[in-house]
Amino acid sequence: MNIKELDKKYVLPTYGRADVAFVKGDNATLEDDEGKKYIDFTSGIGVVSVGHGNKRVAKALCEQVASLTHTSNLYYIAPQALAAQKVVEASAYDMQCFFGNSGAEANEGAIKIARKHGERDGEIKRYKIITLNHSFHGRTITTVKATGQESMHNYFGPFPDGFVYADGIDEIASLLDDHTAGVMIELIQGEGGVEPQDKEKVQALAKLLKEKEIPLIIDEVQTGAYRIGEFTASQAYGIEPEIITLAKGVGGGVPVGIVMTTLKEVLSAGDHGSTFGGNFLSARAVCEVVDILDELKKSGDLENTSRVFNKALEDFYQANSDVFTQKVGIGMMCGLRAKDADTLAKIIDLARQNGVMVLKAGRNTLRFLPPLTITKEEIDEGFQALSTAMSQL
């Protein structure tokens, strides 16, 4: 029985899988079980930030596995403390960290911090969390409800109360009241269609919330770990949130979620926890990934790669302006708006057939999240394959 038959027999069908099984990778190049190679413009949906098969990460993980992988958070974990230091220093914010295993867990932790902070005066219960329509914050019952997409709320209710959706940044101020515990937004909506928020509006919102002592939560699960040029998109937007959530690229492929917060005194022992979060293995991965990305940032290689990728994407967009209506995104989180959903689906399928992996996002968007270590040769090869796919439409 081959891998595809095993999957169909034993794995719940919660994913619409493409007909391909990868067996190995090298930076932005993948190889399937039949020996065919692909250029990966997805990095596992923004996860493999330092590329597939990264030798430094592999060495660090092998050394850690040979020593300790897990003891539990009942004891001090040296790599966890070091990972927290590296993440906080890279962000340049005065924060502390909690480690979980995913973006959804990180957002759950953020909501708990905001709601406990809302109990600070003991009189008015602050519990409402304002999010945006078209947002995406996770797959747990709470984070599904935090997600401003009605289609994702089918079947799974009743949900926790207290989530309010704004149509945009402009509407948030009118929704604030004495029961508002926090505002949670993505600075660039990923699943919502690679939709950047307006910088000045975000800064005005951040200022207003500080005046009202309402925590601003920035979901950086997809935008964090230098995806748009700075370690966090919050830095690029010039704001100082009370809570930031990270996952995906910060672990380079090892499951990890992080809540960072300036509200250091809110949670106490027993308020929150995780069996696996921040264990020796995942924390060691974070340490190595952040080191690699810091070096790329300081050397200028990260900025150069982003410039080369965006130039190639712009050329591709201009050559196919009859199919795409707009180029969107920032840094290495980019998208092209296709004229309709059927065309977008055909492009993704033809791209895979021609050896390049791309993603779908909301609002008919062809999404690009390449490894931050992608080479010019891989960029050129990927767009050549994508151009071939477009000629077959």
Q: What is the pLDDT of residue 124?
A: 74
- Half-sphere CA count of 260, side-chain side, radius 13 A: 28
pLDDT for 121 equals 62
Render pLDDT for 290-337 as a digit per residue (tens, 0 to 9).
Answer: 999 999 999 999 999 999 999 999 999 999 999 999 999 999 999 999
Q: What is the pLDDT confidence band of residue 125, given thresholds at 50, 70 and 90?
A: confident
Mean pLDDT of the chain: 96
Nearest to 373 by CA among 28, 25, 26, 57: 28
pLDDT band at 226 (very low <50, low <70, confident <90, very high): very high
Mean pLDDT over residues 232-239, rounded? 98
DSSP 150-211: GGGGSSS-S--S-EEEESSHHHHHHH--TTEEEEEE-SEETTTTSEEPPHHHHHHHHHHHHH
| Residue 122 in this model has a pLDDT that exceeds 70 | no
Report whether pLDDT(363) > 90.
no
Fold (topology level) of 68-298: Aspartate Aminotransferase; domain 2 (3.40.640)
| pTM recorded for the entire structure | 0.96
Burial (Cβ within 10 Å: 0-12, 13-18, ≥19) of residue 263: middle
Position 120 confidence tier, pLDDT thresholds 50, 70, 90: low
Locate the domains of the chain by residue range: 3-53+300-391, 68-298
Q: How confident is the model at residue 35 (pLDDT cuts 50, 70, 90)?
A: very high
DSSP state at residue 300: T
- C-alpha–C-alpha distance, residues 359 and 48, integer Å: 14
DSSP string covering 87-143: HHHHHTS--EEEEESSHHHHHHHHHHHHHHHTTTTSSS---EEEEEBT----SSHHH
Percent of the chain with pLDDT over 70: 99
CATH class of the domain at 3-53+300-391: alpha beta
Q: Tokens for 60, please give them.
A: 């660090």
pLDDT in tens, 135-178: 999 999 999 999 999 988 999 999 999 999 999 999 999 999 99
Q: Is the peptide bond before 241 cis (omega within 30 degrees of 0)?
A: no
Tokens of 116: 């406990």
Sign of CA dihedral 172, 178, 180, 183: positive
Region 44-63 average pLDDT? 98
CA 381 to centroid of chain Cα atoms: 25
Q: State pLDDT tens for residues 260-291.
A: 999 999 999 999 999 999 999 999 999 999 99
Residue 375 tokens, joined: 């080479």
State yes or no: pLDDT of 123 exceeds 80: no
